Amino acid sequence: MAAETLKPHLFYILLALADGERHGLAIARDVQSLSSGGVRLWPATLYGSLDDLRSRKWIEELPEHPEDESERKRYYRLTRTGRAALNDEAERLARLARLARTRLGDAR
């Protein structure tokens, strides 16, 4: 289904949500550590992307907040389609990586 390649920052956001629900700020921190500092999300990009992903129905907002966190934070989690899209992209990347490795091997 994911014929288009996923923009890196979208991929990282999905990745950050892969092991559980998070709020926006936590996603930003997670993305930064997952990419070892390479991808830093700025506010409008992050929240714009979250709205975008939500409209694609790849993520959804949690109806109520977990008790221990403060009231106003909004939590997101992956939907089934979102997880599939992430999977597809991971597959694609893996294929690409395999291809590159073979080609480089040939060249050597």
Partner 1 sequence: MTRWYRAMLVLAPRRLRHEHGADMEALFAERLAAARAGGAAAAAGVWARAAADLLGARIFSWRAERVPLTVYIDERTTIMVGSDLRYAWRALLRQRGASMLVVLMLALGIAANVTVFSLVNGLFLRPFAFPAPDRLVYINTAAPKWNLDTVGINYPDFVYWTKGQKLFEALTAFDGGSFNLADGDGAVRVRGAVITRDFPTVLGVQPVLGRTFTEEEDRPKGPKAVILSTQLWRDRFGGDRNILGRTIRLDGASHTIVGVMPPEASFPDQVQLWVPKAGDPAQPYQSYGGDAIGRMKPGVTVEQADADLKRANQPVWDTIDKEHAVTPYVRPLHETFVEDYRGAVKAVGGAVALLLVVACANVAAVLLARALARRREMGIRLALGSSRARLLRQLLIENLILSAIGGVCGLAAGRAALAGLIRLIPDQFPRWAHFGIDARVIAFSLLSMMLTVVLFGWAPALHAVSGDLRSAVGATTNGTTGAPRGRRTLRWLVGAEFAVSAVLLVCSLLLVKAFDRVRHTDPGFRADHLLIASVPLSEGTRPKAEQWFAFWKDLEERARQIPGVDAAGVISCAPFDGCHLGNFFQPENPIPRPDGKNPVVLMRMASAGYFQAMGIRLKEGRFLNDGDIAKGVATDDEILSGKVPLAVVVNESFVRTFWGEGATGVGRRIKFNGPKSPWIAVVGVVADVKHYGLERPMRPGVYFPIIVNPLSTMTIALHTRVEPESVTPALRDLLRRIDPEIPLVRPRSMETMIAASTALRAAFSWMLAVFAALAFVLAVGGAYGVATYLVTQRTREIGIRVALGARTADVFRSVVASGLAAVAAGVVAGLAGSVVVATQLGSALVGVSTHDAGVLSVVSLVLVGTALVANGFPARRAARIDPMRSLRTDG
Q: Would you call 31 helix, strand, or coil by DSSP?
A: helix
Among 2, 9, 18, 24, binds partner 1 (CB under 8 A): 24
Cα–Cα dist 28/50, whole Å: 11
Q: Which of residues 48-67 bind partner 1 (CB under 8 A)?
A: 48, 50-51
- Taking the least distance from each CB to partner 1, the nearer of 14 and 46 is 46
Among 46, 53, 85, 86, binds partner 1 (CB under 8 A): 46
The residue type at 68: D
Binding of residue 6 to partner 1 (CB under 8 A): no
Q: For 77-95, b where at least 16 C-beta lie within 10 A, e where not — what string? A: ebbeebbebbeebeeeeee
Binding of residue 47 to partner 1 (CB under 8 A): yes
Binding of residue 100 to partner 1 (CB under 8 A): no
Cα–Cα dist 69/91, whole Å: 35
Q: Residues interacting with partner 1, by CB under 8 A? A: 23-25, 28-29, 40-48, 50-51, 72-74
